Chain A
């Protein structure tokens, strides 16, 4: 039973990841796809942070007394991941603006039709 409760965190992350993935591949509007990508990235970050938590631990800032600290390594990796994520989203939005100017629309179906 406790194992089930421990796994609940990962299942929520998988659910969020799948919703983001579904928005990414099924919606036609390019801007909505980008937001789906952001949801996907954030859910992966949640998963790593979940793995790094220690029950009864505290934030990894050193105190003068003896304490149990949560694992700082996933925090560092996820900091990099968030910043790189925003960098790629910025370039993606710039591409969307150019696509709008070139094709006149940001709906995937209409772009396919006009490219034929």
Chain B
């Protein structure tokens, strides 16, 4: 009984910091080690911690299965969408130079946008897999 209280309070304190760190890694991925994949996994780990401590039902009320599945697909869409936007602006597929008024800003916008796509997909996929494994166990 007492252990459960410690877990719950500890998790409630830690989870916002883990999410914040994940977002930090994502946005600083251009200046320091990091980037979309690491950030996606860290954010997913925060959510999985929430699911493990508070129960699968509570976690699925926060992020229902349909929403998470959509997130997983949405990230791939954002990524390819960046490439298509470059096409529509008159340049080659995924040529980031065309995205802004000068090439280095264009590269910057392009990289930020694709890393965002990667973050959303990796987060969605990890949570989907967690729901699948945990949901299977609950049904037996």
Chain A residues near B (Cβ < 8 Å): 59, 61, 79, 83, 87, 90, 93-94, 97
Distance A75 CA – B32 CA, assembled complex (angstroms)? 14
Distance A83 CA – B129 CA, assembled complex (angstroms)? 14
Kindly state whether residue B33 has any CB partner on chain A within 8 Å.
Answer: yes
Q: Which of B101-140 contact A (CB under 8 A)?
A: 122, 125, 129, 132-133, 136
| Contact with B37, one of A59, A79, A90 (Cβ below 8 angstroms) | A79
Q: Write out the residue numbers on chain A whose beta carbons fall within 8 Å of the beta carbon of B32.
A: 61
Known: A59-B33, A61-B33, A83-B122. 11 other contacts (CB 8 A): A61-B31, A61-B32, A79-B37, A83-B37, A87-B125, A90-B129, A93-B133, A94-B132, A94-B133, A97-B133, A97-B136
Chain B residues near A (Cβ < 8 Å): 31-33, 37, 122, 125, 129, 132-133, 136
Distance A19 CA – B133 CA, assembled complex (angstroms)? 29
Q: Write out the residue numbers on chain A whose beta carbons fall within 8 Å of the beta carbon of B31.
A: 61
A96 to chain B, nearest CB (A): 11
Distance A90 CA – B44 CA, assembled complex (angstroms)? 15
Q: Write out the residue numbers on chain B whose beta carbons fall within 8 Å of the beta carbon of A83.
A: 37, 122
Distance A79 CA – B41 CA, assembled complex (angstroms)? 13
Q: Write out the residue numbers on chain A whose beta carbons fall within 8 Å of the beta carbon of B37.
A: 79, 83
Distance A61 CA – B122 CA, assembled complex (angstroms)? 24
Distance A79 CA – B37 CA, assembled complex (angstroms)? 9
Q: Write out the residue numbers on chain B whose beta carbons fall within 8 Å of the beta carbon of A61.
A: 31-33
A57 to chain B, nearest CB (A): 15
Q: Which residue of B lies closest to A82 (CB)?
A: B37
Q: Write out the residue numbers on chain A whose beta carbons fall within 8 Å of the beta carbon of B125.
A: 87
Distance A97 CA – B134 CA, assembled complex (angstroms)? 12
A114 to chain B, nearest CB (A): 20
Distance A54 CA – B86 CA, assembled complex (angstroms)? 37
Distance A94 CA – B137 CA, assembled complex (angstroms)? 12
Distance A87 CA – B126 CA, assembled complex (angstroms)? 9
